[in-house]
Amino acid sequence: MNNDNEKKQPTVLSLFGKSFVVGLSPMDDITDLPFRELCKTMGADLLITEFIASEALNRDAEKSLRKMVFTPAQRPLGIQVFGANEDELLRCLDVVAQREPDFIDINWGCPVRKVAGRGAGSGILQDIPKMLRVTASLVRHSALPVTVKTRLAYSGDTMPITDFCEALQDCGIAALSIHGRTKTQMYSGEADWTMIGEVKNNPRMTIPILGNGDITSAEVAVECRRRYGVDGILIGRGAIGNPWIFEQCRRAFEGLAPRDVSVQERVEVCRRHLLASVDFKGERTAVFEMRKHYGNYFKGLYGFKPFRLALVGAPTLAETLTVLDRIGEHYTQ
């Protein structure tokens, strides 16, 4: 490994600011600026933007450029990009660097057809030599540390990550995040943390290894940290409509009992999230995209179905706020 690459391999503490990281995993149309801000206030150590197409950045697509917006309070933060074309990925490095994130994250893990079917995201796991060649090229040309997020393999009968993670490290990446499923699994079945642990516990690995997949509670987070020895965890679907999961994880790591979250607090945080989204994206988009969060914001409330249907059916901000008021009144009587 050359000296330039060695300089780009910081410790967990120097890159992410913590000796153990509890971060928000990037999710399209979920981890936007308002939700990242909310998760940060709830204790998330590390934030990564929604994934952004390199081609869209290179043609100054407004929606993609807005995905890179962040506030100083959200640091440490990475901007995640994806693409299948090496030239396009190299061109977008300068566009991303102008925003001055703490690192650039390369998405070699998205399994959805519109991404992987083009050879981007986890689609590149069918061509490991290309993945390594492009990754090394991005590291050489980037002014910022480069990290990678990937999956275990393309499918169960292709090369697993335990065989190519050392090569990724040799490319000079600063950290590696691993989702414990293959591309063909999509989000079905259970995440296999055993292989994530094998990567972390390989004595030849020196970069931070972050695990991702099925972290749905603080108890699961504690167990994954204890059993697999990773340098951090990224929480994805478990954080949707549940920003408190970061606070609960921190409390669990410190040996504290979980804190009960009242219905009124759920309503107020949901309202804050909605209003921030409207300010950032406009009413129509925000009201639509917030529908993905409501089920988890109020998960477990007896008799909630009529309220959930009203929330997802409300077409305007005013009507949505009215439903939230009704929820607060109904469950505090």
Would you mind telling me the total number of residues written for the chain in this entry?
Answer: 333
Please answer whether residues 101 and 78 qualify as being in contact, where contact means their C-beta atoms are separated by less than 8 angstroms. yes
Q: What are phi and psi of 48, to 5 degrees?
A: -135, 140
* Closest residue by Cα to residue 175 from 9, 308, 4, 5: 9
Residue 124 exposure: Cα atoms within 13 Å on the Cβ side: 26
Contacts for 36 with CB less than 8 Å, ≥ 6 apart:
24, 44, 47, 49, 70, 74, 77
Beta bridge partners of 176: 148, 209
Per annotation, catalytic residue among 39, 110, 171, 224: 110
Please answer whether residues 65 and 32 qualify as being in contact, where contact means their C-beta atoms are separated by less than 8 angstroms. no
Query: Each residue of 117-145: b (16+ CB within 10 Å) or e?
Result: eebbbbbbbbebeebbebbbbbbeebebb
Residue 270 falls in the annotated catalytic set: no
Residue 308 exposure: Cα atoms within 13 Å on the Cβ side: 15
What number of other Cβ atoms are within 10 A of residue 321's Cβ?
Answer: 14
Measured distance CA(160)–CA(202) in Å, rounded = 14
Identify the residue whose tokens are 């972290």. 215
What number of other Cβ atoms are within 10 A of residue 172's Cβ?
Answer: 23
Active site residues per annotation: 110
